[in-house]
């Protein structure tokens, strides 16, 4: 019998992005207090015998979407199930488990996908179909979850609105829990207190041609998703380097570690613009591979400034830019675009500078100011060291640990949901699709989320 069963919807191992990192670190924190098992996708790059999985305080298993028996078995043996992303739609049997269900909503994927598919899917009708499908998955989580996690106060307001619309917040529930702390908790993304030993070492300035000890190195941590704006940043570096040729920009990765995710068009656009301006290899550098989780610190420790530049839109306001946490961990002064939660935190605490969106001239001026003032950067580093402790994983996880203790003490009793018929489900709008069109779109959606081997088998079956 397990206390907590964590299911990651993204790859976990040496190479992993935000959702996988979060599942991994939450499992580590929870394992200090409870018996924990973490399930990861079978297409995670690390093998089961990898040294990455040595000396961890919890069990790790691999699951396959085409074989739900493992998830069902462990779910039956667990008192709490913590899941994220599309897990509930991949394994609908989870809904029937007697365990307490905790849904991690820190990535508001219906918002993100609005921008992912804007460039990948040319037909507006198809995009509306995909969006309605995402809303269906999201509503299913709201209806069946017992407790919900989010990353900041803005996200809490967003999800409280969803909970209210779907009648999860109702007179009966409010009579027992007027402040909603039994329903939703703010659990931000976190950082580890100390760098790993394997992170230390010079990996950039002595290895990458064009970088040296005199370079003022700006680093972009993470992927180049479609909602970011690396093009404005590259143009700003082009302007800034004319006054200070020491300024260099390094993109940590242009490729996502999850093989099922589509390529981001913004990454290709950034490479193209950098080449057209003659910056690639001299002032702008792209790392084509994803850096291992326990080695990425070596890159941040050699940088001088962390950057996160985006356009302002609907997704921005509710986002939680996880790359900012790496900048905090390694005491990097920051330049970011205004509009999101962490930009306000950075500006309010004096941890860097925020600039207006899509203004390459203002951004270039900010880069020159921060690059030219070493003493200023040192003062910012001191302020970062005093602030980053609140983002240590052991601290951000406190609300989750408190809730798990209460849930385990209460047994497997679930939160009171509305009686049958008491939950309002918005109807899908638009004209009905033909059977052929419906099948085609359903298969496209399915193939985006299934393991590559299973997707190929289904494709061959449909062709037959």
Residues 238 and 375 in one domain: yes
Residues 460 and 401 in one domain: no
Token pair recorded at residue 462: 């449909």
- In the block, tokens 């064009």 appear at 210
Report yes or no: 214 and 258 within 8 Å, Cβ to Cβ: no
How does pLDDT run along the chain (464 residues), one tens digit per residue?
899 999 999 999 988 888 999 999 999 999 999 999 999 999 887 666 778 888 899 999 999 998 899 999 999 999 999 999 999 999 999 999 999 999 999 988 888 888 777 777 788 999 899 899 999 999 999 999 999 999 999 999 999 999 999 999 999 999 989 999 999 999 999 998 876 544 555 668 878 888 988 999 999 997 787 778 999 999 999 999 999 999 999 998 877 666 666 567 788 899 999 999 999 999 999 988 878 888 888 889 999 999 999 887 788 888 888 888 999 999 999 999 998 888 899 999 999 999 999 999 999 999 999 999 999 999 999 999 999 999 999 999 999 999 999 999 987 556 556 554 455 555 444 444 444 444 544 555 555 555 555 555 555 555 43
What is the spatial distance between Cα 333 and Cα 304, in angstroms, rounded to a whole number?
Answer: 7
Residues 138 and 110 in one domain: yes
Where a domain ends, among 391, 421, 453?
391
Q: What is the pTM of this model?
A: 0.84
Residues 386 and 441 in one domain: no
- Burial string for 295-330 (b: 16+ CB within 10 Å, else e) reads bbbbbbbbbbbbbbbbbeeebbebbbbbbbbbbbbb
CATH number of the domain to which 11 belongs: 3.40.50.2000
Residues 326 and 453 in one domain: no
Residues 346 and 284 in one domain: yes
Residues 149 and 229 in one domain: no
Residues 333 and 352 in one domain: yes
Domain span at 156: 2-190+395-430
Amino acid 203: pLDDT: 67
Residues 94 and 47 in one domain: yes
Residues 208 and 336 in one domain: yes
Amino acid 422: pLDDT: 53
Neighbours of 81 (CB within 10 A): 26
Amino acid 260: pLDDT: 61
Number of domains in the chain: 3
Residues 6+ apart with CB under 8 A from 203: 295, 298, 299, 302
What does each C-alpha distance from 453 to 10, 15, 45, 133, 444 come to in angstroms?
17, 20, 15, 23, 15
Residues 401 and 309 in one domain: no
Amino acid 23: pLDDT: 96
Residues 10 and 122 in one domain: yes
The helices-and-strands tally (H runs, E runs) of the chain is: 19, 13
């Amino acid at each position: 019998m397990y206390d907590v069963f964590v299911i990651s919807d993204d790859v976990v191992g040496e190479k992993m992005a935000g959702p996988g990192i979060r599942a991994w670190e939450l499992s580590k924190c929870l394992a200090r207090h409870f018996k924990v098992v973490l399930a990861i996708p079978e297409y995670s790059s690390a093998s089961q015998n990898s040294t990455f999985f040595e000396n961890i305080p919890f069990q790790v298993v691999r699951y396959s979407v085409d074989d739900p028996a493992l998830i069902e078995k462990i779910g039956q043996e667990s008192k709490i199930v913590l899941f994220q992303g599309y897990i509930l739609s991949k394994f609908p049997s989870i809904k029937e488990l007697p365990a307490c269900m905790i849904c991690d909503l820190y990535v508001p994927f219906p918002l993100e996908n609005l921008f992912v598919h804007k460039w990948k899917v040319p037909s507006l009708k198809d995009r509306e179909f995909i969006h309605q499908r995402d809303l269906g998955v999201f509503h299913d989580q709201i209806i069946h979850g017992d407790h919900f996690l989010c990353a900041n106060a803005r996200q809490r307001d967003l999800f409280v609105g969803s909970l209210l619309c779907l009648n999860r917040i109702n007179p009966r529930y409010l009579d027992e829990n007027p402040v909603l702390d039994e329903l939703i908790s703010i659990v931000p993304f976190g950082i580890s207190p100390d760098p790993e030993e394997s992170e230390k070492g010079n990996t950039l300035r002595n290895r990458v041609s064009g970088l040296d000890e005199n370079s003022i190195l700006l680093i972009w941590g993470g992927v180049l998703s479609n909602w970011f704006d690396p093009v404005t940043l590259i143009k700003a570096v082009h302007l800034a380097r004319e006054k200070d040729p020491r300024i260099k920009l390094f993109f940590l990765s242009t490729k996502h570690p999850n093989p099922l995710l589509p390529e981001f068009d913004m990454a290709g656009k950034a490479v193209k613009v950098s080449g057209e301006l003659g910056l690639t290899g001299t002032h702008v550098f792209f790392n084509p591979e994803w850096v291992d989780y326990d080695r990425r610190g070596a890159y941040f420790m050699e940088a001088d400034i962390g950057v996160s530049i985006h356009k302002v839109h609907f997704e921005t306001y509710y986002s939680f830019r996880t790359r900012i946490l790496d900048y905090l961990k390694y005491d990097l002064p920051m330049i970011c675009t205004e509009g999101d939660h962490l930009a306000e935190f950075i500006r309010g605490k004096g941890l860097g500078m925020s600039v207006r969106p899509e203004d390459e001239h203002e951004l270039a001026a900010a880069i020159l100011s921060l690059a030219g003032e070493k003493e200023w950067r040192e003062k910012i580093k001191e302020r970062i060291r005093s602030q980053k402790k609140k983002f240590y994983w052991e601290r951000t996880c406190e609300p989750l640990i408190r809730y798990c203790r209460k849930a385990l003490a209460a047994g497997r009793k679930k939160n009171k949901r509305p009686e049958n018929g008491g939950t309002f489900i918005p109807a899908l709008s638009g004209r009905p699709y033909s059977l052929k069109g419906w099948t085609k779109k359903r298969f496209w959606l399915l193939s985006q989320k299934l393991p590559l081997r299973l997707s190929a088998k289904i494709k061959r079956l449909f062709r037959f």
